[in-house]
A and B are shown apart, each in its own frame.
Chain A
Amino acid sequence: DAKTTQPPSMDCAEGRAANLPCNHSTISGNEYVYWYRQIHSQGPQYIIHGLKNNETNEMASLIITEDRKSSTLILPHATLRDTAVYYCIVRVANTGNQFYFGTGTSLTVIP
């Protein structure tokens, strides 16, 4: 069962930062936070993941609160191609463990 809560939809102006929140108040100490996105009619694409520390890669930044009960995915300069459904998932970092998807946030980047 999904253990995260995300707003169903958000808009963001092109070129501005998109901040997508995720609540995971029941996260366990050994569970990571993963972010994926799904562009229409494609398979999900991995974005970033983290345990406790903030993380950054070429796609995005992940900010995890100190109590780890919530996190924010930041797309620093949103483009039209970032329009997608973004999923936040918590899971133990074991490749044999299942990923359960919640409802995600539908992000629309507006020109």
Chain B
Amino acid sequence: GAVVSQHPSRVICKSGTSVKIECRSLDFQATTMFWYRQFPKKSLMLMATSNEGSKATYEQGVEKDKFLINHASLTLSTLTVTSAHPEDSSFYICSAGLAGGGAGELFFGEGSRLTVL
């Protein structure tokens, strides 16, 4: 199946710093990617829809200035957590679907665990 890769898988940062997480579709092109966050023992919560070459669409309650999303190419989307605080500590997961085809299934990255000290 299609492969989606995230980097880094784990990151620890100090409060107030910014952290960038990359999401790449390795063997297919993705016009749309999605970003989720997940708290311990909870389900995945959709944060935003990332569209190649245009602005991301954020879910209600997600701060777009806090979570900057860039989708500069058909194989790369980035999520930047700006001025991170301990409450931003979470598991962040991206996903992508096959552009222009497929059965609509999404493929997910391995996730990136952010810990803000």
Residue among A41, A44, A92, A102 with the most chain B CB within 10 A? A44
User: Does A25 touch B at the CB level, under 8 Å?
Assistant: no
B52 CB to closest chain A CB (Å) equals 11
Q: A104, B104: Cβ atoms under 8 Å?
A: no
B1-47 interface with A by 8 A CB criterion: 1, 4, 6, 30-32, 34, 36, 43-46
Among the listed A41, A43, A95, A102, which residue makes an inter-chain contact with B109, where contact means beta carbons less than 8 Å apart?
A43
Among the listed A49, A96, A101, A104, which residue makes an inter-chain contact with B103, where contact means beta carbons less than 8 Å apart?
A49
- Chain A-chain B contacts (Cβ-Cβ < 8 Å), number: 69
Q: B31, A42: Cβ atoms under 8 Å?
A: no
- A41–B92 Cα gap in the complex (Å)? 10
Residues in chain B near residue A98, CB distance under 8 A: 34, 46, 49
State the main secondary structure of chain B at its contact with A.
strand
**When each residue 76-117 of chain B gets 1 if its CB lies under 8 Å from chain A and 0 otherwise, what string results?**
000000000000000101010111001111111111010000
Please give the number of chain B residues whose Cβ is less than 8 angstroms from any Cβ of chain A in the complex. Answer: 31
State the main secondary structure of chain A at its contact with B.
loop
A71 CB to closest chain B CB (Å) equals 16
Q: A99, B46: Cβ atoms under 8 Å?
A: yes
B110 CB to closest chain A CB (Å) equals 5
User: Does A93 touch B at the CB level, under 8 Å?
Assistant: yes
A93 CB to closest chain B CB (Å) equals 3
Could you list 25 A-B pairs, sorted by A, with CB under 8 Å?
Answer: A32-B103, A34-B104, A36-B108, A42-B110, A43-B4, A43-B108, A43-B109, A45-B108, A46-B1, A46-B105, A49-B103, A94-B104, A95-B31, A95-B32, A95-B104, A96-B97, A98-B34, A99-B34, A99-B46, A100-B46, A101-B43, A101-B44, A101-B46, A102-B43, A103-B43
Not counting A43-B93, A103-B43, a sample of 20 additional A-B residue pairs whose C-beta atoms are within 8 angstroms of each other reads A32-B103, A34-B105, A41-B111, A41-B113, A42-B111, A44-B44, A46-B1, A49-B103, A49-B105, A87-B43, A93-B104, A95-B31, A95-B32, A95-B97, A96-B49, A98-B46, A99-B95, A99-B106, A101-B46, A104-B43
